[in-house]
Amino acid sequence: MRLVQADEMRELDREATRRFGIPGLLLMENAGLSIVDVILKRFWDNKPQGKRILILAGPGNNGGDGFVVGRHLFNRGAEVKILITAPPDSYGGDAEVNLKIVSEMGIPLRVLEPERLREVEEMLAGADLVLDALFGTGFRGVPREPVASLIRLVNKAGKAVVAVDLPSGLEADTGRVAGDCVRAQVTVTMGMPKIGLYLEPGAQYAGEVVVGDISFPPELKTEEGGNYYLVDEEMVAAALPERLPTQHKGDFGHVLVIGGTRGYTGAAALASNAALRSGAGLVTAVVPEDLYPVAAAKLTEVMTFPAPGKDGGFDAGACAALMGLFGRATVLAVGPGLGQGEGTVSFLRELLERTDLPAVLDADALNILARDRRILTDPLFAERRKRWILTPHPGEMARLCGTGVGEIQSDRIGVAVRASREWGTTVVLKGARTVIAAPGSPVFINPTGNPGLASGGTGDVLAGLVAGLLAQGIAPVEAAFSGAFIHGLAADRIARQKGMAGLVAGDLLEEIPVVLELLARRKRSWRG
């Protein structure tokens, strides 16, 4: 599903008027009607008579939408009260037109006054539903007083809240909440869904998001050419390869998982099994030779290969022993349990310099690259980096970018986009609402997953899953967003069955094939 920034939305608004002659007043009317529809159907069971709604209307067109809602619900017999946060004569344009109409209709209208907030509490107590029409895409910074106090009163009142376009206080493009923000049960977003509604914490404040139809012609609402997309089943199902009867395991690639040093053989095992579960044809786990017996004992369907190493790490010169393997491999997954020993650091550098296989770089591979980023920027490896997928969590990303986790989390899309452009590679910035960015590609936001994934080894499973998809010939960006989606959906299905607390990485291995089959069935049903 395509997502838009506030500026994109404003441009579409202008285009609707300029290109198709749809006046802003008509867009506002349709916006209001789409909200009325949600209120009647989801909150009032189509029986508005006598229902009490308090409409909080801000100084701009978001408030204008609120006036339209008030008019229609008043006409349908609801008890409507409107609280405006700016003096009536400060309104202009379409909002002013609609303010005048509701005033002429005699709908009770009050101006918010800082010294009379107690009366606002009473108004809230006397309402069945609150409409948040304070701010939309024109919001900036933090809500100023007395609106900030009003927002806090709304959130304290415990009433059902419907937000117009965005919950007020939320930054449309980043999902950031810098100050107070309305917590809504439902947000009716106009025309096209805004990015901030699908990023944390914005998604928590927005509640369920409904896209309001404001009569944009299809050409304006096109899914094509967007800069941002919410990953959905259709996109992932379309990316997954068909498995034809005539095909054999050689057709589905061979993943080399390189890692599994002392104490972390489990990481390599999880990543290796995840690669197999994703549908890869063959998987080989490459571990230091002194841990080979441990890995071999853990792995059945996954082949194991002992690489020169001691004390649980790889020898600096271990790469030479792998050259034969590279000829038979399709993709590398480097990092799960790799460790950061001295020999391993040299080994990784030589590995990435000597093979141009597509690679998923995760965990300690990223931590090693963070200490010596030359290979991420060296023009000599630019071509090769196009075939890499980096899968950092926020801490690893902070080290890679030489900054703090706070900076990473405060602008997850911007950070991922800049890094992917600077390094010329696909970046999967993990976390709540994983962000996938790559040069020349739209940005993808993954909606699946839950806090149950904050458990050891789930990252190893994701790395293996993405590598397995890459090995099957899926392009890096598609493999990245599909892996994140499948990984998170598997976790959501497990959480529904067993709860989040007890979710362990191994559970994902069982659920991944189920999710793949579910997507394959959906794909067949769409094909008809």
Ligand X SMILES: NC(=O)C1=CN([C@@H]2O[C@H](COP(=O)(O)OP(=O)(O)OC[C@H]3O[C@@H](n4cnc5c(N)ncnc54)[C@H](O)[C@@H]3O)[C@@H](O)[C@H]2O)[C@H](O)CC1
**Binding site residue list for K(+):** 62, 132, 168
Q: DSSP characters for 317-357?
A: TGGGGGHHHHTT-SEEEE-TT----HHHHHHHHHHHHH---
| Minimum CB distance to ligand X smaller for 180 or for 407 | 180
Task: Tell me if 280 contacts ligand X by CB under 6 A.
Answer: no
Strands of the sheet with 129-133, listed across from one edge:
109-111, 79-84, 52-57, 129-133, 160-164, 186-190, 208-212
Q: Considering CB under 6 A, how many residues would be counted as binding ligand X?
A: 29
Partner from K ion, ligand X, none binding residue 132, C-beta < 5-8 Å depending on class: K ion
Structure tokens at 75: 């006409």
Place of tokens 């104490």: 263
Task: Tell me if 136 contacts ligand X by CB under 6 A.
Answer: yes
Task: Tell me if 141 contacts ligand X by CB under 6 A.
Answer: yes
Q: How far apart are alpha carbons 338 and 504 in whole angstroms?
A: 21
Partner from ligand X, K ion, none binding residue 31, C-beta < 5-8 Å depending on class: ligand X
| Minimum CB distance to K ion smaller for 164 or for 462 | 164
CB of 148 to ligand X, least distance (A): 8
The residues pairing with 171 across neighbouring beta strands, listed in sequence order, are none
CB of 95 to ligand X, least distance (A): 7
CB of 224 to ligand X, least distance (A): 19
| Minimum CB distance to K ion smaller for 168 or for 458 | 168
Per-residue contact string for residues 146-165; x = within reach of ligand X by CB under 6 A = -x----------------xx
* Contacting positions for K ion (CB under 5 A): 132, 163-164, 168
Segment near ligand X (CB under 6 A); pick from 37-45, 55-63, 269-277, 384-392: 55-63
Q: What are the C-alpha distances in Å from 341 to residues 259, 262, 272, 288? A: 12, 11, 22, 12
Place of tokens 């690639």: 253
Task: Tell me if 3 contacts ligand X by CB under 6 A.
Answer: no
Task: Tell me if 212 contacts ligand X by CB under 6 A.
Answer: no
Q: Which residues are annotated as a binding site for AMP?
A: 430-434, 459
Task: Tell me if 135 contacts ligand X by CB under 6 A.
Answer: yes
Structure tokens at 219: 């050409």
Place of tokens 């392009």: 475
Task: Tell me if 31 contacts ligand X by CB under 6 A.
Answer: yes
Report the residue from 3, 5, 8, 13 that binds ligand X according to the rule CB under 6 A: 13
Report the residue from 3, 4, 22, 28 that binds ligand X according to the rule CB under 6 A: 28
Partner from K ion, ligand X, none binding residue 171, C-beta < 5-8 Å depending on class: none
Place of tokens 């369907």: 301
Q: How far apart are alpha carbons 176 and 123 in whole angstroms?
A: 29
Task: Tell me if 67 contacts ligand X by CB under 6 A.
Answer: no
CB of 93 to ligand X, least distance (A): 8
CB of 172 to ligand X, least distance (A): 8
Q: How far apart are alpha carbons 277 and 274 in whole angstroms?
A: 5
Q: How far apart are alpha carbons 16 and 3 in whole angstroms?
A: 18
Report the residue from 138, 226, 506, 513 that binds ligand X according to the rule CB under 6 A: 138
Residue 303 contacts residue 284 (beta carbons within 8 Å) = yes
Partner from ligand X, K ion, none binding residue 34, C-beta < 5-8 Å depending on class: none
CB of 141 to ligand X, least distance (A): 4
Q: Which residues are annotated as a binding site for (6S)-NADPHX?
A: 61-65, 136-142, 165, 267, 337, 393, 460
* Omega before residue 336 within 30° of 0, cis: no
Q: How far apart are alpha carbons 460 and 391 in whole angstroms?
A: 10
Q: What are the C-alpha distances in Å from 182 to residues 40, 47, 134, 151? A: 21, 26, 9, 6
Helix 458-471 vs helix 476-498: crossing angle, to nearest 10: 140
Structure tokens at 386: 């196009």
Partner from K ion, ligand X, none binding residue 59, C-beta < 5-8 Å depending on class: ligand X
Q: How far apart are alpha carbons 120 and 111 in whole angstroms?
A: 10
CB of 195 to ligand X, least distance (A): 14
Residue 344 contacts residue 338 (beta carbons within 8 Å) = yes
**List of residues contacting ligand X (CB under 6 A):** 9, 13, 27-28, 31, 58-65, 135-144, 147, 164-165, 190-191, 214
